[in-house]
Structure 1
């Protein structure tokens, strides 16, 4: 996961207070840092150039063996490549793209720390794709990212409770949900998009911290038999969800 913030220091203070992250600078320079929980990297936050008038949003990046091949697959399947592939000083190459319905995501070719955590342990808890047709989206991403191919490290895909569930090494890491979406909608809940859910031990203290640091809630607290959650925006407007488990161990 990556976030380009308008004020890097303020963004670090916000997420440190809300989800308990610490931060470490990288070889990408002073304008980028990696968020950690218990020493494990969980997300990257970079400084957005001040003259860029673009929405601030959390973006998932998926590891690929060859960025050029992945970009070719995206275009062949009617996706859009906005940036890249471009090379970075740390020895990797990345690109920013959108799927057929306009949901934005990134790809990354290069070194990936084995202890990056999505779907297990600390935050990010999991990813959710809100899209027009989850089955069609699974075909798109499966072909671009080589899901369910049986190669080492690839993800398994299953259909459960009207959702497409993505697992890695048996651990659920993402859900793809079908529903009414509008490409030009300004509603955060109806635009095709990847959405990140950050796990916290207790919901109310995290909400209080977010509001005190300039964030705001954009939904009521919702719950089911397994978890409670609420959607928020950070001070830059980036949308995310805080979730806390009602079961032990934590699960989707």
Structure 2
């Protein structure tokens, strides 16, 4: 990720919704060295902010709704959540939740793009988002997996004003020329029941070690460590509760 902090339109936060919050805290603490701090206020439902060297790096939360899947979610920074929601709707997306205030921290909404991928909007007040990017244990890249790349590109460039690099192999998203993510076209190798989704990638010092640590902690390696041509070394993993995420070697050029 070429972004070094939250900027309008860019990814600013990754948040896990999980069926076993305490187990997830242990898993990610071992894998990334995170130190989860749980909000003691009753209305937060046990929400925890994972910290690394004092910086907030990700959120860990229980499932708040019965139909909510175990998954990582990506939030994008906006100056005005209400205005962003109107752009989402006008561009063919949906807004199943929000905008709502999160105490004095900010204002958020849950949105769905026209291809079915869920994401979140975040209007910062006292909490801008992650305080560390592109360093071991922190958010390093976000990737959209969709069966309709053209429709997705039209939607996100309209809603956020992103740049998109024309590439049949791997289009990249950017804000003001800074790349922060990419797009994968889901083909027949993806099971039909897997919906379009956003996948966060976290930087690690060693991808192979992260894969071993994941299996040692009862997680799963979905894509074995791989060095991409002219790209980073990556792997795709799944935690014991079923949430998928990626890792890449910190310092690799993308």
What's the TM-score once normalised by structure 1's chain length? 0.81
Question: Is the alpha carbon distance of 1:20 and 1:91 closer, same or farther for their aligned partners in structure 2, counting shifts above 3 Å?
Answer: closer
Runs of 4+ in 1 over 4 A off after TM superposition: 26-30, 168-171, 181-184
1:202 offset after TM fit, Å?
1.5
1:83-162 mapped onto 2 (5 Å cutoff): 83-111=97-125, 112-113=127-128, 116-118=131-133, 120-122=134-136, 123-147=138-162, 156-160=163-167, 162=169
1:174 offset after TM fit, Å?
0.9
CA offsets per residue over residues 109-130 of structure 1, 9 Å max, x none? 1224376344x33321200111
Asked if residue 18 in structure 1 is aligned to residue 31 in structure 2, the reply is yes
RMSD of Structure 2 on Structure 1 (CA)? 2.7
1:195 offset after TM fit, Å?
0.9
Asked if residue 4 in structure 1 is aligned to residue 8 in structure 2, the reply is no
1:2-81 mapped onto 2 (5 Å cutoff): 2-26=15-39, 29=44, 31-49=46-64, 52-81=66-95
Asked if residue 173 in structure 1 is aligned to residue 151 in structure 2, the reply is no
RCO comparison, higher one (Cα < 8 Å, 6+): 2
1:11 offset after TM fit, Å?
0.7
2:92 partner SS: coil
2:171 partner SS: strand
Say whether the 8 Å CA contact 2:17–2:69 is kept in structure 1.
no
1:91 offset after TM fit, Å?
3.7
Q: What count of residue pairs does the alignment treat as equivalent? A: 236
CA distance in 2, matches of 1:183, 1:140: 23
Say whether the 8 Å CA contact 1:17–1:210 is kept in structure 2.
no
Question: Is the alpha carbon distance of 1:183 and 1:74 closer, same or farther for their aligned partners in structure 2, counting shifts above 3 Å?
Answer: farther
1:241 offset after TM fit, Å?
1.7
Which structure 2 segments of 5+ residues have no match?
Answer: 1-13
Asked if residue 217 in structure 1 is aligned to residue 221 in structure 2, the reply is yes
CA distance in 1, matches of 2:94, 2:204: 34
CA distance in 2, matches of 1:135, 1:62: 20
What's the TM-score once normalised by structure 2's chain length? 0.80
Asked if residue 163 in structure 1 is aligned to residue 170 in structure 2, the reply is yes
Say whether the 8 Å CA contact 1:215–1:233 is kept in structure 2.
yes
- Equivalent position of 2:199 in the other structure: 195
1:236 offset after TM fit, Å?
1.3
